[in-house]
């Protein structure tokens, strides 16, 4: 358990560094993939319970802290995204990489809209326009492309092997 938390904390920090540094140094105007959201989707698919939800909330709070401006919008987006993944994954087979891509794309849009709604309620009502919508779409598309690779890396790592052991009903 502690090991899984540590791995997710490390992955979240690494994701924040890559989003904040590497992506922009490759191309300044680039829209970075939302690594925190991808971790939330992974959490929801592998730990679809209250504990996983708390983990998603903590990842959202970390993203809020990274911005240092408001607490809550990213966290709320992560919670809604987590619930959306659970709802969808109960209806469709979500293990295939194409399904994961579509799932990530959809919940990323949901997260982006939740974030915007929070800002519109608390900061400024006239915030949303088509250009902001374009950023939501682009971020979702890029996150969807990156998601299967990142999830594969997480799944073959220590977290994945422990999960497979737990799924087979064996003692980890």
Partner 1 sequence: MADFFRKHSLLLTAGLLLLSCLQLMSVSIRNPDIPQFGGRMLNAVLAPIQGAYQASTAWARTVWDRYLYLVGVEEERSELQHRIEALEAQNSRLIEFESENRRLKQLLSFSEGTGFRGVPSTVIGRDPSNWVRTITIDKGSADGLRPNLAVVDGNALVGQTTVVNQHSAKVLLVTDVTSAVDVIVQGNRTPGIVEGTGLETLRLRYVPKEIAVPVGGRIITAGLGGVYPKGLLVGVVTHTDGQVSGMFQSVEIQPNVDLLRLENVMVIIPEQSAPRDE
Binding site for partner 1 (CB under 8 A): 13, 15-17, 19-22, 24-25, 28-29, 31-32, 34-36, 48-50, 53-54, 57, 60-76, 79-80, 82-83, 86, 112, 115-116, 118-119, 122-124, 127, 129, 131-132, 135, 139
CB of 155 to partner 1, least distance (A): 23
128: exposed, middle or buried (Cβ count in 10 Å: 0-12, 13-18, 19+): middle
* CA–CA gap between residue 49 and residue 38 (Å, rounded): 17
CB of 25 to partner 1, least distance (A): 6
Nearer to partner 1, 29 or 170 (CB): 29
CB of 84 to partner 1, least distance (A): 11
Question: What DSSP string runs through 6-48?
Answer: HHHHHHHHHHHHIIIIIHHHH-TTPPPP-HHHHHHHHHHHH--
């Amino acid at each position: 358990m502690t090991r899984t938390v540590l791995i997710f904390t490390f992955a979240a920090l690494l994701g924040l560094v890559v989003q904040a540094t590497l992506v922009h140094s490759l191309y300044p105007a680039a829209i970075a993939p939302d690594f925190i959201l991808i971790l939330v989707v992974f959490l929801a698919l592998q730990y679809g319970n209250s504990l996983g939800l708390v983990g998603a909330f903590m990842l959202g709070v970390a993203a809020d802290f990274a911005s240092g401006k408001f607490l809550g919008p990213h966290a709320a987006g992560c919670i809604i995204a987590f619930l959306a993944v659970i709802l969808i994954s109960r209806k469709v087979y979500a293990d295939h990489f194409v399904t994961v891509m579509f799932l990530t794309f959809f919940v990323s849009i949901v997260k982006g809209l939740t974030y915007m709604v929070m800002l519109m309620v608390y900061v400024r009502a006239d915030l949303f326009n088509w250009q902001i919508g374009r950023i939501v779409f682009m971020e979702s598309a890029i996150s969807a492309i990156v998601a299967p690779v990142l999830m594969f890396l997480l799944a073959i790592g220590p977290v994945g092997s422990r999960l497979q052991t737990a799924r087979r009903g064996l003692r980890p």
